[in-house]
Amino acid sequence: MENDPAGDGSTDASRAERSGADAFSSPDGLLEIDTIMSSFDKMETTKKPQVFMLHNRGPRYNMVQLCGSMDAWGARHDMQYDQFTNQWFITLHLKVGDEYHYKYVINDQHWVVNDEEPQRKDASGNVNNYCGILDTDLL
């Protein structure tokens, strides 16, 4: 009689047939875990967390958002306010090897650059903040 570890009268072979076992499964499940971990590890090497921060100057802003080339300037990312440091912040996971231009949007109307971060003109002559996510940053 074949192995019946579940005690339900089924065999390893019959359970594999019912579950639609394919090339990614193995009797001990390790191949499945290896496949999942490989996908996770691959993602970790293609994106890197980047923190964006803006000091709140003067009265507290109602809202600050980040907008940039990481989303083709089509999305605004709401930032969080830290009352202890008086800063707005957000962490985005950006693709390694690319350079990103961005601006901060204060109270949904004022587009500003952060003077404390690197700045560069884009192809249209607009001054933006920028960051480059380099492969060496992962070391």
CB count, 10 Å around CB of 48? 17
pLDDT band with cut points at 50, 70 and 90 for residue 133: confident
How many domains, in total, are found in the chain? 2
* Residue 66 within any structural domain of the chain: yes
The predicted pLDDT at position 46 comes to: 84
The predicted pLDDT at position 38 comes to: 63
Residue 32 lies in domain: 12-44
Which of 55, 54, 57, 69 is closest to 132 using CA atoms?
69
CATH code of the domain covering residue 102: 2.60.40.10
* Residue 6 within any structural domain of the chain: no
With a cut of 50, say whether residue 137 has pLDDT above it.
no
* Residue 4 within any structural domain of the chain: no
Taking only the tens place, the pLDDT of each residue in 74-122 is: 999 999 999 999 999 999 999 998 999 999 999 999 999 999 999 999 8
How does DSSP assign 96-127, residue by residue? TT-EEEEEEEETTTEEE--TTS-EEE-TTS-E
- Average pLDDT over all residues of the chain: 81
With a cut of 50, say whether residue 20 has pLDDT above it.
no
Average pLDDT over residues 120-134: 92
* Residue 2 within any structural domain of the chain: no
Supply the pTM of this predicted model.
0.66
With a cut of 50, say whether residue 139 has pLDDT above it.
no
The predicted pLDDT at position 11 comes to: 56
The residues, any chain, with a CB within 8 Å of residue 31's CB and separated by 6 or more, are 24, 25
Instruction: With residue 88 as reference, give the H or E element that holds it.
Output: strand 87-95
Helices (H), 7-93: 12-19, 30-46
Give me the percent of the chain exceeding a pLDDT of 90: 55
